[in-house]
Amino acid sequence: MADLIKKSVASPAGSDPLTYVMSDETVDRMGDVIEAKGWQLANFAKNPIALFGHDHSFVVGHWTDVRVQGGKLIGKLNLLPAGISERLDEIRAAVQAGVLRAVSVGFTSDPDSVERNKSGGWRFKAAELMECSLVSVPANPNALQMAKSLNLSEDVRSIIFRDPSDTEFAAKPEQAAAIVQPAQKPAASGMKGLPVVKLNDPARVRAKPFVINKVHR
């Protein structure tokens, strides 16, 4: 089985807090893009569990009405019922208040369906959705103020907020392009697939599978 690849995207503020853009055709900070028409959803539909942070021990609900629409992969989050645990209830409050608007898809892609794009990253012409997780969001002042008004515990705040300087949103496309080798495209055989890259990891960690010698920042 091919390695799991992970890509994050944030939904617009002010939209339905339970409807998420899971993926779109925007070139991301790594220079990659996933073609919306290439999403394969049949297997995901059999077990559409929603996780937090790709952690299979941290189930927050399940996804429904997952579809490609207007060049975007969209899904509706159905949260677990209230009262299961205090932590889940706090996550629920953060979602419903519009604080948690970022998700990350985990998917696989056949090497033959991946090609270089003009930005120096990869274009995924086909991708099989394996799972989709809520992920932490940048700890900006507005989000922190909202968390305070919701009386979120320190434990939950540490889960849902991250340092904006250590995220994919702070990375520069030219940094990614500078450290990726063109020859790294996965071959049809002899490789398990693309390296696993968690885009909410620090930039230096994300770059490691592709580093030529050293990364100078």
pLDDT tens digits for range 46-71: 999 999 999 999 999 999 999 999 99
Greater pLDDT, 11 or 216: 11
Catalytic residue among 11, 23, 54, 168: 54
Q: What is the 3-state secondary structure (H, E, C) of the chain?
A: CCCCEEEEEECCCCCCCCEEEEEECCCCCCCCEECHHHEECHHHHHCCEEEECCEEEEEEEEEEEEEEECCEEEEEEEECCCCCCHHHHHHHHHHHCCCCCEEEEEEECCHHHEEECCCCCEEECCEEEEEEEECCEECCHHHHHHHHHCCCCHHHHHHHEECHHHCCCCCCHHHHHHHCCHHHCCCCCCCCCCCCCCCCCCHHHHHHHHCCCCCCC
Judged by average pLDDT, the poorest of 15-29, 138-152, 158-172, 193-207 is 193-207
Distance, CA of 117 to CA of 177 (rounded, Å): 11
The answer to whether the pTM exceeds 0.85 is no
The answer to whether residue 54 is catalytic is yes
Which has more confidence, 190 or 48? 48
Range with lowest mean pLDDT among 9-18, 123-132, 178-187:
178-187
The one catalytic residue in 8, 11, 23, 104 is 104
**Which one of the listed residues 109, 131, 133, 168 is annotated catalytic?**
131
Q: pLDDT band at 79, cuts 50/70/90?
A: very high
Taking residues 173-183, report their average pLDDT: 29
Say if residue 145's pLDDT is above 60.
yes
Residue 56 annotated to the active site: no
Tokens describing residue 101? 């608007």
Bridge-partner residues for 34, per DSSP? Answer: 124
Taking 70 as the threshold, does the pLDDT of residue 168 lie above it? Answer: no
Give the model's pLDDT for residue 163. 62
Any idea where the domains of the chain sit in the sequence? 5-210
Task: Kindly tell me if the per-residue pLDDT of 179 is higher than 80.
Answer: no
